[in-house]
Structures are given as structure tokens and as C-alpha cells.
């Protein structure tokens, strides 16, 4: 079973190499550096296949051939990395080889051909039913070439990092130095160097899996792989397929048959593509269904925009808004609150579904965090944007409140709409938030229009009251003048006549407001003057307890 899992790791690595290779050569990018990168990945893929053969073949002669291939590839891979790193460019043409680069590449190719003339392995070790190569002293060239090339590339990267002036140049180089290079160096040590010293440790070959992951990350990080739906979905699909295949390999009682191992690679890649295409089919179907739903939603919003401006009173407007939110957004609870800036800063104008007593206590007590957010930010407060431990989430969850929507007119908050229901953790869709933000501006305009209409209606009413008041004042003044003429000997009746005349004048001032005439008055005397106008029953006694230290206050005596 242990060898099964080692083979499985190499199967995953080889499949990942081939999958990345296919994505690179099939994409629209035609830069030469992408082809170079694909060539390096192909070398790694061949090496993983050679190691898979060694671990799963019982034929000694074929294993010796596979060991030679591994030796040659172990020498060619550093040459490919050297050529790729020295010719890395996003241009359409590769730079030409320099005089110093040409001998290095030629030497690497020559060393890779050595196993054809000399044996790569001195003998084969029979370990748990498999023939593992015991590499000859010639294999010392592999660690020497890897270490030498690693030091050379690291020094080159440091020089380029120090000479880079702009942050856009330094960031990719920093990623290479701090992430990619160390991981790749460790993986090469495990796969290509350590097996010479520990030939029985076949699990070291699983380091190819780390190399595959690093190469995949580098392809995305350095813009060698196009960012499309395929690249985003392919790796998760590959991971799912590999996880299911792990169950198959773990269930085998002994080392897997070579044919099964080699067939696992195209099977894993095929499962990945099938999963990807199934995912895209479902994704496309979901988008189409959403498209149909979005069209219905757009039609409802258009209808709302047409009908919102037809209301002449606030109560029918709030009732329509409640029905609309329930049918369109599945929010059955609504509260409309306005700001009045007097004894209580908030006033509930409309309520449906919410607990009035709980909401009233919230409005009358200390300012709740959700209300403070609405007043300060003047943006939609979404319960699901906050953590469960946040006071805003806890307050809104207690009220069954999803959203607090501000009503803003000329940058002034005139009120707010609270929408809610019984969902506790399912977020409100983002599209709903955009539409409700649009609706809030239309509602604020509709409220302002209704207030304007109410003011016009009130002005017309006052005009009618003014005409009636003028006729009434004429008749009362005639009566008061007649009273003063014939009953002037009765002082109390004269005071009441004066009081009626004052009422007539107040009525005229209400219809046609006059400027106030402020004079400093002793409030105690003003109370005595008012009490003289009151007819008190003899059985009722009036007690006066005045302070003598009150200052005079400026008032219009007649208005008081």
C-alpha cells in the first residue's frame, strides 16, 4: 500500500504537469517564453513518468533504461531552467544567446548524453517487489550541476533585484527569491540528489508533486497562463478527481500493476476535463435561469419607477412599498421612520411585521449602533456584512432586521426604511442591494413631492380660511363696537369685549401673520392679566405662589 501511495503521488504530479502543458500550448498567448515554459514542464513530466516506470515495473532491463532516462533528464532540466531564466521576456522575439550562455547549454546537453555511453546505475536493488536503481558515481554530475546552476541563478536574481528601481520590477523578483526559488531548490534536492545517497527511500520521488504545484503557481503569478474560466475551474476539478482516485489507490492490497498506473494519468486528466465541462454546463444553465429572473426583476423595478410618483399621500405610498418588497425581495417586514428633531428624534410613520414595542424602545433609548451608522454614513446598513459578535449584527438579528436603508434629500437624512424577515444567516443578494439603493433615491423624491403637494393644498385651505376670517372679523368688530358704545359702564363686559376683539385680531394674524412686537414683561403680571379673563366658579379658589426674583422676558403681550 505504501508503494501505491508513492505511485499515486507521481501519477498526480505527472497529470498536473501534462494538464498545465496542455493549457499553456492551447491558450491564445503566443509569446515564445510561454513555449519555453511548456518545454521545461514537458521535461519534468517525462522524468515523473520514468520514475513511475521504475517503481512499478518488474523488468530489470527496462528499469535500467528508465534509470538512464531519469539521469539524462536530471541533466537536461537544469539546462532548460537556465535557458528559460536567461531568456525570460514578454516580447514577441527571444533574445539571442550570448557567447557565455552558449557553452553552458552545450555542456549540459553533452552531459545529458553520457548515460548513453556509460551505465547510469551500477546495479538494481530489489526492494518490496520492485527494482530500484543504485546510481553509479557518474551520477555525481547531477547534484553538481543542480547546485552550480542554483547558485548561479540565485546570484543573478539578487543582482536583478538590487538593480530594479521600480516596484513593479521588484515585486516579481521578490516572489522568486522568497517563494519560488527556495521551494524549487528543496524539491530538486529531494527528487534528484537525495536518491543517490538513500536509494531505498523511494518516497523521495514524491517531491515531483511539490515541483508541479510550484510550476503551476509560477505560471499564474508571472502571467504565463491566461486567467480564464478554464484556468480558474480546472485546478479545483483536478483536485476533486485526484481525491476520488486516492480512494482507489488506497484500496489496492499491493503495488499497483504498471498498466493500471500508466492508465491512471489519462484517466485523471479525462475526469478533470469532464468535470470542468459539466461545471460550465451547469454554470451556463444557472446564468440563463438568473437571466430570466433578472429580466423579471428589471420589469418590476421599471414598474415601481413608474408608479412611485403617482401617489399623493404617504400612507398609500408605504403600503405599496410594503407589498412590493414582500413580493419582489421576499421581505415581509417593513418600518418607515422619519427624523423630527424634537423631544424624540425618531417617529414611526408606518409599521408592518415588526414588534412595535421593541422598535419603540430602540428608538427612544440610547442611539442604537445601526441608527448611528445610518445617520453618519447615509448608506445601506446590511446585517450580513457584520460578524455575529458585532453589536450591529446582534441588534438587527434581535429585531429580525436585514437592511437599514437611508432616505436622503440633498445630502440630508430625512428618514429611513427598515426591511426584515425571518432569515438569520442567508445573505441578501448583491443585486437586491443595488436595486434597493436605486429605489431609496426614488422614494426620497416621491416623499418630497408629496410634501410639496401637501403644502400647496394647505396654502389653498389657508386662502379659503382667510376669506372666511375677513368676513367673520368684520361682523365681530361691528358687534364689539356696538357693545363698547352701549355697555361702557360695565368694566368686566368691556374687558371681555376687548378680549373678543383681540381674538379677532389673532385670527387675522394667523391668516396673514404680522411681525411680533416684543416688549420686556413681568411674567407674574402677565399671569394676573390672563386670570382676569377667566370666569371662575365661586366654589373654586385660586392660590398664587409667585417668585419675586424672576427676570423680565421679551414677549408679544397680545399674542400671549
DSSP state letters, 83-123: HHHHT--SSSSPPPPPTTHHHHHHHHHHHHTHHHHS-SEEE
For the full predicted model, state whether its pTM sits above 0.85.
no
Tens digits of residue pLDDT in 91-114: 677 767 777 777 877 887 888 887
Residue 172 makes CB contacts below 8 A (sequence gap 6+) with 221, 222
* pLDDT, mean of residues 514-518: 72
pLDDT at site 419:
92
- The set of cell numbers assigned to 182 is 527556495
Read out DSSP for 1-41? -HHHHHHHHHHHHHHHHHHHHHHHHHSS---HHHHHHHHHH
* pLDDT, mean of residues 179-206: 86
For the ranges 243-252, 312-321, 461-470, the one whose mean pLDDT is highest? 312-321
pLDDT at site 125:
63
Cα R_g (the chain), whole angstroms: 44
pLDDT at site 256:
57
pLDDT at site 2:
47
Cα end-to-end distance, the chain, whole Å: 102
pLDDT at site 384:
87
- The set of cell numbers assigned to 373 is 451608522
Of residues 195 and 133, the one with the higher pLDDT is 195
pLDDT at site 513:
59
pLDDT band at 490 (very low <50, low <70, confident <90, very high): low
pLDDT band at 7 (very low <50, low <70, confident <90, very high): confident
**Lowest-pLDDT choice from 163-167, 284-288, 299-303, 457-461:** 284-288
Decide if pLDDT at 452 tops 90: no
Decide if pLDDT at 199 tops 50: yes
Tens digits of residue pLDDT in 457-474: 777 776 777 677 677 776
Q: Which residues pair with 403 in a beta bridge?
A: 382, 419
pLDDT at site 43:
92
Tens digits of residue pLDDT in 125-157: 666 666 777 777 788 888 888 888 888 888 888
Nearest to 140 by CA among 83, 87, 197, 76: 197
Amino acid at each position: 500500500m505504501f508503494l501505491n501511495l508513492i505511485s499515486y503521488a507521481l501519477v498526480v504530479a505527472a497529470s498536473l504537469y501534462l494538464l498545465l502543458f496542455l493549457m499553456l500550448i492551447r491558450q491564445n498567448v503566443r509569446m515564445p517564453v510561454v513555449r519555453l515554459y511548456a518545454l521545461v514542464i514537458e521535461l519534468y513530466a517525462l522524468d515523473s513518468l520514468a520514475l513511475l516506470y521504475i517503481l512499478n515495473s518488474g523488468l530489470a532491463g527496462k528499469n535500467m533504461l528508465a534509470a538512464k532516462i531519469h539521469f539524462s533528464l536530471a541533466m537536461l532540466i537544469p539546462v532548460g531552467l537556465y535557458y528559460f531564466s536567461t531568456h525570460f521576456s514578454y516580447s514577441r522575439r527571444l533574445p539571442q544567446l550570448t557567447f557565455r550562455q552558449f557553452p553552458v547549454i552545450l555542456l549540459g546537453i553533452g552531459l545529458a548524453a553520457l548515460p548513453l555511453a556509460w551505465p547510469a546505475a551500477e546495479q538494481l536493488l530489489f526492494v518490496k517487489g520492485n527494482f530500484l536503481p543504485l546510481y553509479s558515481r557518474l551520477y555525481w554530475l547531477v547534484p553538481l550541476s543542480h547546485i552550480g546552476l542554483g547558485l548561479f541563478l540565485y546570484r543573478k536574481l539578487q543582482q536583478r533585484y538590487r538593480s530594479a528601481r521600480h516596484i513593479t520590477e521588484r515585486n516579481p523578483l521578490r516572489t522568486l527569491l522568497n517563494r519560488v526559488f527556495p521551494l524549487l531548490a528543496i524539491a530538486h534536492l529531494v527528487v534528484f540528489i537525495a536518491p543517490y545517497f538513500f536509494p531505498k527511500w523511494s518516497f523521495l520521488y514524491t517531491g515531483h508533486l511539490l515541483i508541479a504545484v510550484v510550476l503551476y503557481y509560477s505560471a499564474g503569478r508571472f502571467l504565463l497562463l491566461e486567467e480564464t474560466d478554464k484556468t480558474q475551474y480546472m485546478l479545483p476539478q483536478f483536485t476533486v478527481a485526484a481525491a476520488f482516485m486516492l480512494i482507489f489507490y488506497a484500496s489496492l492490497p499491493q503495488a499497483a500493476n504498471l498498466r493500471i498506473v500508466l492508465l491512471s494519468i489519462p484517466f485523471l486528466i479525462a475526469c478533470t476535463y469532464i468535470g470542468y465541462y459539466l461545471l460550465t454546463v451547469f454554470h451556463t444553465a444557472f446564468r440563463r435561469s438568473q437571466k430570466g429572473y433578472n429580466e423579471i426583476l428589471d420589469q418590476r423595478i421599471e414598474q415601481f419607477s413608474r408608479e412611485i410618483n403617482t401617489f399623493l399621500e404617504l400612507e398609500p405610498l408605504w403600503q405599496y412599498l410594503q407589498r412590493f418588497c414582500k413580493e419582489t425581495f421576499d421581505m415581509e417586514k417593513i418600518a418607515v421612520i422619519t427624523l423630527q428633531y424634537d423631544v424624540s428624534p425618531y417617529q414611526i410613520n408606518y409599521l408592518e411585521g415588526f414588534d412595535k414595542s421593541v422598535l419603540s424602545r430602540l428608538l427612544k433609548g440610547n442611539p442604537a449602533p445601526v441608527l448611528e451608522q445610518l445617520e453618519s454614513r447615509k448608506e445601506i446598513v446590511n446585517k450580513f456584512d457584520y460578524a455575529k459578535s458585532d453589536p450591529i449584527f446582534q441588534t438587527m438579528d434581535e429585531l429580525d432586521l436585514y437592511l437599514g436603508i437611508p432616505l436622503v434629500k440633498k445630502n440630508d437624512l430625512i428618514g429611513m426604511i427598515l426591511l426584515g424577515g425571518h432569515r438569520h444567516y442567508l445573505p441578501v443578494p448583491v443585486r437586491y442591494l443595488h436595486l434597493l439603493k436605486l429605489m431609496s433615491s426614488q422614494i426620497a423624491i416621491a416623499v418630497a413631492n408629496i410634501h410639496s403637494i401637501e403644502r400647496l393644498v394647505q396654502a389653498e385651505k389657508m386662502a379659503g380660511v382667510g376669506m372666511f376670517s375677513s368676513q367673520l372679523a368684520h361682523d365681530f368688530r361691528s358687534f364689539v363696537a356696538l357693545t363698547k358704545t352701549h355697555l361702557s359702564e360695565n368694566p368686566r363686559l368691556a374687558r371681555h369685549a376687548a378680549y373678543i376683539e383681540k381674538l379677532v385680531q389673532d385670527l387675522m394674524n394667523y391668516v396673514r401673520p404680522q411681525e411680533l412686537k416684543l416688549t420686556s414683561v413681568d411674567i407674574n403680571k402677565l399671569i394676573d392679566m390672563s386670570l382676569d379673563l377667566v370666569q371662575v366658579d365661586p366654589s373654586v379658589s385660586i392660590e398664587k405662589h409667585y417668585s419675586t426674583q424672576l427676570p423680565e422676558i421679551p414677549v408679544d403681550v397680545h399674542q400671549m
